[in-house]
Amino acid sequence: MYSPNAYRVICSSVIGLTILLMLFSLGLGHYFLSLQQIIAILVSPVYQLNGAISDIDMQVIWQIRLPRILSAFFVGGGLALSGAVLQGVFYNPLVDPHVIGVTSGSAFGGTLAILLGFSTFGLLTSAFCFGLLALILIFVITATLKQQNILILVLVGVILSGFFSALVSLVQYFADSEETLPNIIFWLLGSFATANWQKFLILVIPVSIASFILIRLSFRINVLSLADNEAKSLGISVIWTRSLVLILCAIIVAVQVAICGSIGWVGLIIPHAARMLVGANHQRLLPIAFWLGGLYMILVDDIARLIATVEVPLGIITALLGAPCFVLLLKQQALRKE
C-alpha cells in the first residue's frame, strides 16, 4: 500500500524523467543538436530565443524527431498499459498483449499489404483490420464453444496466433527475396524510421481514447483480476466488462502493429516494473505503466538509432533488453517475498 504522497512523488518522477528523456532524445542522432538548440526550436513558433536556427534544424526536430519520439511514447505507453490490463483480466502476470492473437492478425495484415504492394495507408488499414478480425474471431470461436472462461480465451488466442503466424510465414515464402522479403522482415521487427505526423495522428487518437477508458475502468479491472466467480459474486458482469476491456486492448495493439510493426516484451516487463513501484491496485498501476512504457520505448528507440550506423529493428532491442530485465525483476520479486 502506498500513501497518496508517495504515489504523487513516483508519478512526478516518472513524468519528469520522461519529459527530460524526450528533450534529450530530440538532440540525439547523426545530426546532433544541443539542449539549448532544441529548446529554441521548440519554442520558436511562439517566441524567438537568441541564436540562429537553420531550416535543417527546424526540419529535423519538427518533421522527423518529434513525431518519432511522440509515436514511440504512445506505442510504449499503449503496449505497457494493455499488458498491465490483460495481466489483470487474465489474472496471470505472465500474459502480454500478444496473448489475444491480435498482434499476429495485424502482422499478417501488414505483411500481406507489403506483398501486394499496397500504399502506406493501405498497409495501416490492412494491419488494423486484420487485428480486429482476430479479435472478432476470438469472440466467434468462444461463442461457438459456448464457453467464456479465461482458459478458453487464452487457448483461442494461442490458436489464432499460431494460425496467423503460419499465414505470415506463407506470405514470406511467396515474397520476392530481393526486395519484398527484407521489407517484410524489417517491418515485422518494428521501427519508427518512417514516423511522421500523419502516422502519429492515426496512432494517438485511438490509443489515447482506449487508454483513457481503460484507466477509467481501473477499479473494475481490480475486481476482474480476482477470478470469474469472485468478480461475479461482487456483482459485476464479468463477460460484458471483460469483452469491453479486450476490445480496447485489441484496438491499441492493432493500431500499434499497423504503425510500427510487432514489438514484444514491453507489454510483459513494464507492468511488472510498474507494479513494483506502485503496487497491484490498477487505479495506481495503469497510469504509471503507461508513462513507464512510453519512457522505456523512447529509450529503446534512442538505442535503435544510435547503436549502429544503420537502424536496428526495435523488436531485437526490446527482446535483448527485456529478457535480462525480466530475470532481474523476477529476482527482485523473489527477494521481496523473502
Partner 1 sequence: MHLLPVMSVSQLVCGYQMDKPLTPALSFDIEPNDIVAILGVNGRGKSTLLQTLLGIQPPLSGTVMTECALSFVPQFFSSPFHYSVLDLVLMGKAKQLGLFGRPDKKAIAQALDNLALLGMQQYAEKAFSHLSGGQKQLVLMARALTSDCQILLLDEPTSALDLHNQKQVLNILNDLAKERHLTILFSTHDPAQAMAIANKVLLLDGQDYLFGQADELLTEQHLSQLYQITMRKITLARHAKTDNCDQSSSNQPLHTIVPLYREE
3-state helix, strand, coil in the chain (%, to 5): 80, 0, 20
What residue has cell string 495503469? 286
Could you say which of 24, 42, 44, 93 contacts partner 1 (CB under 8 A)? 93
Burial state string for 265-298 with b = 16 or more CB within 10 A and e = fewer than 16: bbbbbbbbbbbebbeebbebbbbbbbbbbbbbbb
Count of CA atoms in the C-beta half-sphere (13 A) of 311: 17
Per-residue contact flags (x/-) with partner 1 for residues 274 to 293, judged by CB under 8 A:
-x---xxx-x----------
Contact of 96 with 158, CB cutoff 8 Å = no
Measured from the CB of residue 124, what is the shortest distance to partner 1 in angstroms? Answer: 30
Q: Which three cell numbers stand for residue 70?
A: 511522440
Q: How many angstroms from the chain centroid is the CA of residue 210? A: 12
Could you say which of 34, 54, 92, 194 contacts partner 1 (CB under 8 A)? 92
Measured from the CB of residue 236, what is the shortest distance to partner 1 in angstroms? Answer: 5
Measured from the CB of residue 239, what is the shortest distance to partner 1 in angstroms? Answer: 12
Q: Give how many residues touch partner 1 by CB under 8 A.
A: 29
> In terms of C-beta density within 10 A (0-12 exposed, 13-18 middle, 19 or more buried), how is residue 235 classed?
exposed
Which residues in 215-234 contact partner 1 (CB under 8 A)? 216-220, 222-223, 225-227, 229-234
266 counts as binding partner 1 under rule CB under 8 A: no
Measured from the CB of residue 151, what is the shortest distance to partner 1 in angstroms? Answer: 15
Cβ distance to partner 1 smaller for residue 82 or 218: 218
Cβ distance to partner 1 smaller for residue 94 or 307: 94
Q: Which stretch binds partner 1 (CB under 8 A): 58-66, 90-98, 156-164, 310-318?
A: 90-98
40 counts as binding partner 1 under rule CB under 8 A: no
Contact of 304 with 313, CB cutoff 8 Å = yes
Task: Report in angstroms the alpha-carbon separations of 241 from 88, 124, 230.
Answer: 13, 28, 14
Per-residue contact flags (x/-) with partner 1 for residues 41 to 80, judged by CB under 8 A:
----------------------------------------
Residue numbers of the site for partner 1 (CB under 8 A)? 1, 88, 91-93, 216-220, 222-223, 225-227, 229-236, 241, 275, 279-281, 283
